[in-house]
Structure 1
Amino acid sequence: MNFLNEVTLRYPDAVSFAPGRPYDGFFDTEQIFRQVRGYLDHLVEQGSSPQQIRTAMYQYGPTAGQIREIVADALRADEGIDVPAESVVVTVGAQEAMLLVLRALVAGPQDVLLVASPCYVGITGAARLLDIPVTAVEERDDGLACADVEAAILAERARGRRPRALYLVPDHSNPSGTTVPERHRAELLELAHRHGVLVLEDSPYRMVSPGPRLPTLKSMDRNRTVVHLGSFSKTVFPGARVGFVVADQLVADDTGRTHLLADDLARIKSMVTVNTSSLSQAAVAGTLLAADGRISELNTAAAAYYGDAMRATLRELDARLPAARREALGVRWNEPTGGFFLTVRVPFRADNAALTRSAEDFGVIWTPMAYFYPDGGGYDGIRLSTSYLTPAGITEGTARLARFIEAEAEAVTAAAARRP
């Protein structure tokens, strides 16, 4: 990521398909004040005194979060996830949620984390910080296959290790853009329950994607197999840095008494960040209250915009590299129906050197897919983020990208012809 930032700063006029962040046009600085005011009014309606409200806003708050009832209500209204507020921990973004969950679940060197590959670098980075072994399960074109997950579980057990959890982004994943079909979701839950492996479900792109949504794994969960990681960065605003985790699993302490996994996460959080910013929680809570918990309705316009951006990118790619031409070059891409990302496969090594050539000679920036492969590989892949660009930027950026791909493919062909 540091390299990407460096390239972006070095070539400020380049069109960048790299940032996986929301479009700035949906944010209005005045709405922050309305959001906070909405939460303060809610506290008054709930009977809080001026002193209690002042304390709630200015002092250290509950470690597990002061808005978790509101978050739980929103999950019930919008996602069909029906869990008690006590199972929710409000975190500093979903990134802290990942760190807390891994720290709570992994007890020793024999424990291993399974991840979909390619994989979001935040989870593998957290695992590295905690010295947790990571085993990659290669994604297929339609996401993880249950047979591949089970084979990885059995292989790890044969090595004397314990697969503790499986991390995946089932909806419009980062980086590949794939979505796990509904039929595979039920199979995956059954498989995880049978093998005693928890599923860490991370779905930040659901509410910013157009069209019907598949059910979350957590809403389908009948055996408390799923730990659900959530974020308001894509739906409310990234700067709030508010995420959450739903951990309703029952765990036993040294005396045999049971408690919620969420309690363990809160204890760990108390030693890491103490609590999530009260001001940030207030802004998020005010947004949720104003929408009656239905973030999906609040994000209707944003989801339509991102859907249009994805379709425009695919349309422009097809116009610049028609089917016959890309077949001749050995180029292909997937066609996500939502989310921020799609993957382009190319016939050359798409590494940092290629990215530098792309930025310097063609004025277009993208993300090498190799960053997202825990076991190495992915050097034929380019990740394009479609969320942050205007329609004009997409048109110009895809034109530049197509010229870059053509030039690199021709260079590979020429080099092969020169070899004896």
Structure 2
Amino acid sequence: MPGITIASDIGSRDWLDRAELHGSVSDPLLDTMNFLNEVTHRHPDAISFAPGRPYDGFFDTEQVFTCVRRYLDHLAEQGGSTEDVRTALYQYGPTAGLIRGIIADSLRADEDTDVPAESVVVTVGAQEAMLLVLRALITGPDDVLLVSSPCYVGITGAARLLDVAVRPVPEREDGFSAADLETAVLAELANGRRPKAFYVVPDHSNPSGNTMGPEAREELLDLARRYDFLVLEDSPYRQVSPGTPLPTLKSRDRARRVVHLGSYSKTVFPGARVGFVVADQRVRDAEGGEHLLADELAKIKSMVTVNTSSLSQAAVAGALLGARGRLSQLNAEAAAHYGATLREMLRQLDARLPADRREALGVRWNEPTGGFFLTLRVPFRVDDALVTTSAQDFGVIWTPMTHFHPGTGGHHGIRLSISYLTPAEIEEGTARLARFVEAQCAAL
């Protein structure tokens, strides 16, 4: 046929050409975690500031069984028969989730967020929630996702898988700027494209560690109303950080502009792989009927993961019930630990690279008040090859900020995670990191 080339050996070929696969599999973005895992595996004695995972010391094997038992007892107390309880644990369960009511109760108790259980969809981690929301909202090449840059690679990775156009909105060193976002929105509109949503981590963000202030939060909500876009709020670190958190964007949302993405990976345990999305926006069909956006997300989920593990939901629900829905109470010890660890990291950095020395080198870092991450800026360019050098020659691993910048940027930034390390590892790790930085600066 014209325009089609048929290989003569097509019937005997036992391989696939990468060019025949979706372009995302060749995107370096999707290799981020694999690369860091590979470096860690090759250098097991290196101290790694790369993984943003919770500290293992808070997990007890028996805790899982206690939580599941508590949830099953709760079902029985609610009038569930033996058969009902067995079905809830062993069967697929509803696509939108078994524990929507418990999650909604928790949001009311801990986040001053009053939403109906029907607006909640329980997902396989927050990552699935991102995928579902993007698939529902982005309808074609003229729709654009705005992201605060640098940003979490999960959202840009999901966008890449779905061929969603991404427009980065640079985050300043002092955090989010409504003026920058408005400029990006107007530029996209001028080019005939529609900004459909803006993704942001307002509390102790990954990767920068920055927190959006109260005024900036109100300005963001106002922009979303004026320019008719949704805000995708992802805030997994707020309940594992010291102090009283600022109100979520969703709790201040009076115009249903915010889709809240939730995760229990940091607050309960990551192995459960349970997240959720609050999507209380109304969707009207051509016949005048009205549904919640959550209903549409559940339809998509039914063709992706069918449902979220009933056993995992039981474990998470039991943890929430045990704390009367208050994640802040459940994570009080963890928040204090991470706060102390972050302060120790900042103290060690200051001891190894005191103010006069880092000024001479051209090195600086931010000082987040919570979360798992901080950002180190250096005068030399960093990339994956330099990570390998750092691991091999200095025994310390970190993450280049280039991984978190859609397009270009971050060439002089290093993300440091403090969540998984002990004080002794932080002390030794910062000593190694300082030696690495000194050596690279001397080579300039």
> If the length of structure 2 is used for normalisation, what is the TM-score?
0.92
> Could you tell me how far 1:171 is from its partner in structure 2?
0.2
Contact 1:75 1:82 in 2 (8 A): yes
Contact 1:14 1:363 in 2 (8 A): yes
CA distance in 2, matches of 1:9, 1:253: 52
CA distance in 1, matches of 2:166, 2:424: 41
Aligned to 1:181: 213
> Could you tell me how far 1:258 is from its partner in structure 2?
1.5
Matching residue's letter, 2:97: G
Equivalent of 2:408, from 355, 360, 376? 376
Aligned to 1:264: 296
CA distance in 1, matches of 2:404, 2:287: 41
> Could you tell me how far 1:227 is from its partner in structure 2?
0.2
Equivalent of 1:206, from 238, 242, 265? 238
Aligned to 1:54: 86
CA distance in 2, matches of 1:7, 1:205: 26
Equivalent residues in 2 for 1:307-386, closer than 5 Å: 307-386=339-418
Matching residue's letter, 2:381: R
CA distance in 1, matches of 2:286, 2:74: 40
> Could you tell me how far 1:349 is from its partner in structure 2?
0.9
Equivalent residues in 2 for 1:101-250, closer than 5 Å: 101-250=133-282
Q: Are positions 1:388 and 2:425 aligned together?
A: no
> Could you tell me how far 1:254 is from its partner in structure 2?
3.1
Aligned to 2:442: 410
CA distance in 1, matches of 2:286, 2:152: 34
Equivalent residues in 2 for 1:90-109, closer than 5 Å: 90-109=122-141
The SS at the match of 1:228 is strand
Bigger mean CA deviation after superposition, 17-26 or 348-357: 348-357
**After TM superposition, which residue ranges in structure 1, 4 or more long, deviate above 3 angstroms?**
none
Matching residue's letter, 1:82: D
> Could you tell me how far 1:184 is from its partner in structure 2?
0.6
Bigger mean CA deviation after superposition, 128-137 or 348-357: 348-357
Equivalent of 1:27, from 50, 59, 62? 59
CA distance in 2, matches of 1:376, 1:211: 35
Aligned to 2:6: none
Aligned to 1:418: none
Q: For residues 241-282 of structure 1, what are the alpha-carbon distances to aligned partners after superposition, in whole Å with 9 as ceiling and x for unaligned?
A: 000000000011232321100000000000100100000000
Matching residue's letter, 2:207: P
Matching residue's letter, 1:324: D
Cα-Cα RMSD: 0.6
> Could you tell me how far 1:142 is from its partner in structure 2?
2.6
The SS at the match of 2:83 is helix
CA distance in 2, matches of 1:199, 1:297: 28
CA distance in 2, matches of 1:122, 1:74: 25
Matching residue's letter, 1:248: D
Contact 1:309 1:386 in 2 (8 A): yes
Give the unaligned 5+ runs of structure 1: 413-420
Give the unaligned 5+ runs of structure 2: 1-32
Equivalent of 1:297, from 329, 335, 357? 329
> Could you tell me how far 1:163 is from its partner in structure 2?
0.1
CA distance in 1, matches of 2:410, 2:266: 26
Contact 1:142 1:180 in 2 (8 A): no
> Could you tell me how far 1:216 is from its partner in structure 2?
0.2
The SS at the match of 1:204 is coil
Contact 1:232 1:242 in 2 (8 A): yes
Matching residue's letter, 2:43: Y
The SS at the match of 1:89 is strand
CA distance in 2, matches of 1:111, 1:41: 47
Aligned to 1:80: 112
Equivalent of 1:40, from 69, 72, 75? 72
Contact 1:142 1:181 in 2 (8 A): no
CA distance in 1, matches of 2:36, 2:285: 44
Q: For residues 114-137 of structure 1, what are the alpha-carbon distances to aligned partners after superposition, in whole Å with 9 as ceiling and x for unaligned?
A: 000001000000001111000000
> Could you tell me how far 1:172 is from its partner in structure 2?
0.3
Q: For residues 225-251 of structure 1, what are the alpha-carbon distances to aligned partners after superposition, in whole Å with 9 as ceiling and x for unaligned?
A: 000000000010000000000000001
CA distance in 1, matches of 2:65, 2:59: 12
The SS at the match of 1:403 is helix
Contact 1:121 1:371 in 2 (8 A): yes
Aligned to 1:417: none
Matching residue's letter, 1:34: T
Matched positions, count? 412
Matching residue's letter, 1:216: T
